[in-house]
Amino acid sequence: MIASRITPRVVIFGLVAQLALWLAMTLPTSLGLMPRYYLTSWFFRTGGSCIGFALALALNLEVAAEYRNTRWLRVAWLALAANAGISIFRMIFEGPLPGLVLENYSTSPLRGLLQHLAIVPANLALLVGVIAMCQAYHQVGLGFEIERRDYAVMIGIAAVLTGLMTFREGLTEAQSPYLTSRYLQQSGLVLLALVSAVSVVLHRMAMQMGGGRLALALRVLTLYALSRSVLVLLGAVTMPLTGPVRSYFLVLAWQAVAWLPALAAAYRAQLTVNAAKELARLEQGRMAQAAAVAS
């Protein structure tokens, strides 16, 4: 099992290591202490995020295999795996790699188009994942309930989305010559807002569980959905600001977000690993007990 090696601790270590190394590579440049290794730091940033999503893909597939007879949850974890898989392409399109083949790629509107061609299906997969998960936990009939304040948060998210669409000049693709890019970015945002709204329900369910590994996984998943919405919003609202603090914060935050699906999947997968260990210990104890009684 991959999950027995890729524990939440390993994922957190990967996240912290990526942020620390990226800072170590970039901060001295900003302070004028060393020359700018722009491409290297970009490759590093893309590579790290791709590793994060690749781990999420592998772990999600492993978790999905745990639900051979539970249709909704199988769909949910496979959809999350699809989100992670497509996000790898998104990272590649965002990074400098296509620039090795395509001239002026980093400044070309093609970059935005390719990026959003990946973001929309990735967000759709994430939406399918969180809806299927909510449906599965609701169906089991353990009394998970949505509270009034959850509806208030959902309305708040809808209001923020409306605002973002109204002032869409703040969006990165607002001026793209490709009409498809503009529509894709807006579709991606609608999907992201829907994901955030549904993840509020998921978070409420996690709160009502009273602890446990599953609740941790659901909370991290909620954090993933909400933090992406918040970062898109922050990016759009603070676009006129060009200071280094904004850049550093956004770049670091987006890098951290890339590891959250892997962390959520690692928490969920650890549930299985621990259960398998407990099961083995139980069987061993019973065998020892039977042997002692027989002798």
Partner 1 sequence: MKHGISDQDWEGYVEDRLPAAERDRIEAHLIGCLGCWEFYEQMAATTERLREAGAATRRGIPLSDEQLHAGLRGVFERVRAGQPGHATQRGGRIEQRLRYLEAVMAPMCGAQTAANALRAAARGSAARSLDEVTTDNWEPFLRSLTSIAAVMCGETGAHLVWRSGQF
* 140 is a site residue for partner 1 (CB under 8 A): yes
With contacts defined by CB under 8 A, name the span among 87-95, 108-116, 210-218, 258-266 that binds partner 1. Answer: 210-218
Choice between 193 and 218, CB closer to partner 1: 218
Footprint on residues 63-92 left by partner 1 (CB under 8 A): 63, 66-70, 73
Region class of 35: left (phi > 0), else alpha (psi between -120 and 50), else beta: beta
Q: Which one of 32, 35, 211, 243 is in contact with partner 1 (CB under 8 A)? A: 211
* Amino acid sitting at position 98: P
User: Can you tell me the distance from the alpha carbon of 82 to that of 265, in angstroms, rounded to the nearest whole number?
Assistant: 13
State yes or no: residue 2 binds partner 1 (CB under 8 A): no
Number of residues that bind partner 1 (CB under 8 A): 40
Sign of CA dihedral 115, 117, 120, 122: negative
Dihedral angle sign, alpha carbons of residues 221, 227, 233, 236: negative
Q: Does 215 bind partner 1 (CB under 8 A)?
A: yes
Q: Which of residues 91-120 bind partner 1 (CB under 8 A)?
A: none
CA gap 19, 151 in Å, rounded: 35
Task: Return the range that interacts with partner 1 (CB under 8 A); candidates 14-22, 29-37, 194-202, 275-283.
Answer: 275-283
Return the range that interacts with partner 1 (CB under 8 A); candidates 32-40, 92-100, 141-149, 155-163: 141-149
User: Nearest approach, Cβ of 215 to partner 1 (angstroms)?
Assistant: 5
171 backbone dihedrals φ, ψ, rounded to 5°:
-80, 150
The closest alpha carbon to 186, from 94, 89, 95, 178, belongs to 178
Please, what is the minimum distance in Å from the beta carbon of residue 57 to partner 1? 18
Q: Does 150 bind partner 1 (CB under 8 A)?
A: no
**Which one of 99-107, 147-155, 202-210, 231-239 is the stretch in contact with partner 1 (CB under 8 A)?**
202-210
Nearer to partner 1, 62 or 173 (CB): 62
Query: Does the footprint of partner 1 cover residue 292 (CB under 8 A)?
Result: yes
Alpha-carbon distance of 166 to 162, in angstroms, equals 6
Of 27-35, 42-50, 211-219, 231-239, the segment contacting partner 1 by CB under 8 A is 211-219
Query: With respect to partner 1, which residue has the nearer C-beta, 165 or 275?
Result: 275
User: What letter does residue 131 receive in the DSSP assignment?
Assistant: H
**Terminal CA-to-CA distance of the chain, rounded, Å?**
36
Does the protein bind partner 1 through residue 35 (CB under 8 A)? no
The encoded tokens of residue 24 equal 């170590």
Q: What's the rounded Cα separation, in Å, for the pair 281 and 166? A: 59
CB 140 to partner 1: min, Å: 5
Residue 103, both tokens: 């001239």
Could you tell me how far CA 86 lies from the centroid of its own chain? Answer: 11
Instruction: Report the candidate in 94, 38, 72 with the shortest Cα–Cα distance to residue 258.
Output: 94
Among 21, 51, 214, 239, binds partner 1 (CB under 8 A): 214
Considering the complex, state which of residue 245 and residue 292 has its C-beta at the smaller distance from partner 1: 292
> ∠2-91-261 over CA atoms, to 5°?
40
Q: Given the rule CB under 8 A, which residues bind partner 1?
A: 63, 66-70, 73, 136-137, 139-143, 208-215, 271-272, 274-276, 278-279, 281-286, 288-289, 292-293, 295
